[in-house]
């Protein structure tokens, strides 16, 4: 009887020890799972912060950006601050992961970003063309800043070198801004920031009466403009085709043509292309590139 009692007590004691061990293993497993989940969320938060930097780098301008990737629980928030009056910005990007229970994990990266604008010195002439076919009235092109640089033919400049980005990237900027034009949009171009115009159908002549506004205008096709005295465009007009100006159209900046050009070539033409380096520089601010100079976490 005593032996049975001892065995019963011993069995209960073993069961108690096993229960304690099982409970310990259970809580250890939960703890490890929580640590693993938190580590995974922390890693996600870091990559979200990196994604925020990439978003700012690829976006137009240098303004705060925020958003999420796939799910609102995976968010980023980016705040750029200019360093003095320089072209450098301190960028703080925070990535945040929110669990189903509402707990959040955040990571932060600090980046120094430099703004790089294409040089206005790439544009030196009132009219520049890759062709040797430039027909113009002397009174219709002027460069009061450097009278020797009225016009240039046979240019070897390329779009990428002039603007620092490709044509596809420039078109994408215009589409993002909502300034892309194609099809039948009337007889007026009110330019703003970056305006890309696809002549439709391809191979046709785009003939409009009014070109106004400011920034960069890219005409993908042959272009003819017949303006009125109240018209005036300030910036860079780039033609991927042939150009003809008539009437009283006016460009205060510069014109680059990837083919032949006829500026005010008719007998009554009074159109004007007046070189203006300030307007050119302002237009190029719309295609600023961003370079990461330094990076650190936290």
Domains (range + CATH), the chain? 2-116 (3.30.1300.30), 120-286 (no CATH)
Buried b (16+ CB within 10 A) or exposed e, 20-47: eeeeeeeeeeeeeeeeeeeeebeebbbe
Q: Against a cut of 0.75, is the pTM above it?
A: no
User: What is the pLDDT confidence band of residue 114, given thresholds at 50, 70 and 90?
Assistant: very high
Q: Give pLDDT, residue 102.
A: 86
The confidence band for 280, taking pLDDT boundaries of 50, 70 and 90, is: very high
- Report helix, strand or coil for 10: helix
User: pLDDT at position 121, please?
Assistant: 94
Task: Pick 77 or 62 by higher pLDDT.
Answer: 77
pLDDT digits (tens, 9 = 90+) for 228-251: 767 799 999 999 999 998 888 899
Distance CA 249, CA 272 (A): 6
> Which residues does 90 contact at the CB level (< 8 Å), separation at least 6?
80, 81, 83, 110, 111, 112
Residue in the block written with tokens 């150009």: 243
In angstroms, the Cα distances linking 86 to 60, 278, 284, 288, 291 are 19, 19, 17, 14, 14
pLDDT at 290: 87
Contact between residue 73 and residue 98 where contact means Cβ atoms under 8 Å apart: yes
Strand partners, 24: none
Percent of the chain with pLDDT over 70: 86
Output the pLDDT for position 84.
Answer: 93
pLDDT at 268 (0 to 100):
56
Give the DSSP letter string of 165-181.
Answer: S-HHHHHHHHHHHT--E
SS3 state of residue 69: strand
- The whole-number pLDDT of residue 50 equals 95
Is residue 17's pLDDT more than 80? no
**For residue 15, is pLDDT > 90?**
no
Long-range CB contacts for residues 191-194, cutoff 8 Å, separation at least 24:
191/215, 191/216, 191/217, 191/233, 191/235, 193/60, 193/286, 194/170, 194/218, 194/286, 194/287
Write the burial class of residue 186 (CB in 10 Å: 0-12 exposed, 13-18 middle, 19+ buried).
exposed
Grade residue 34 by pLDDT with cuts at 50, 70 and 90. low
Section 262-273 average pLDDT: 74
Angstrom distance (rounded) from CA 138 to CA 216 = 25
- Note the pLDDT tens digit of each residue in 146-199: 999 999 999 999 999 999 889 998 999 999 889 999 988 889 999 999 999 999
């Amino acid at each position: 009887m005593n032996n049975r009692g001892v065995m019963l007590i011993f069995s209960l004691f073993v069961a108690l020890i096993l229960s304690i061990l099982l409970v310990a293993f259970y809580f250890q497993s939960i703890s490890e799972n929580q640590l693993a989940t938190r580590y995974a969320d922390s890693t996600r938060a870091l990559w979200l912060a990196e994604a925020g930097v990439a978003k700012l780098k690829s976006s137009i301008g240098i303004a705060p950006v925020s958003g999420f990737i796939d799910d609102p629980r995976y968010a980023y928030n980016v705040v750029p601050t200019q360093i003095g009056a320089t072209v450098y910005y301190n960028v703080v990007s925070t990535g945040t992961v929110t669990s189903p229970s509402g707990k959040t994990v955040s990571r932060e990266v600090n980046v120094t970003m430099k703004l790089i604008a294409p040089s206005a010195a790439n544009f030196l002439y009132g009219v520049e063309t890759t062709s040797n076919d430039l027909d113009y009235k002397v009174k219709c092109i002027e460069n009061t800043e450097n009278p020797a640089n009225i016009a240039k033919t046979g240019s070897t400049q390329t779009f990428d070198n002039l603007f620092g980005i490709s044509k596809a990237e420039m078109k994408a900027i215009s589409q993002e801004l909502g300034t892309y034009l194609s099809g039948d949009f009337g007889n007026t171009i009110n330019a703003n920031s970056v305006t890309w115009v696809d002549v439709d159908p391809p191979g046709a002549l785009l003939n409009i009466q009014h070109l106004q506004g400011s920034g960069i205008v890219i005409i993908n096709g042959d272009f003819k403009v017949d303006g009125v005295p109240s018209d005036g465009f300030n910036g860079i007009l780039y033609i991927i085709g042939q150009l003809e100006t008539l009437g009283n159209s006016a460009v205060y900046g510069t014109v680059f043509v990837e083919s032949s050009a006829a500026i005010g070539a008719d007998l009554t033409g009074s159109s004007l292309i007046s070189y203006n380096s300030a307007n050119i520089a302002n237009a190029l601010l719309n295609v600023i590139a961003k370079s990461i100079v330094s990076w650190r976490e936290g």
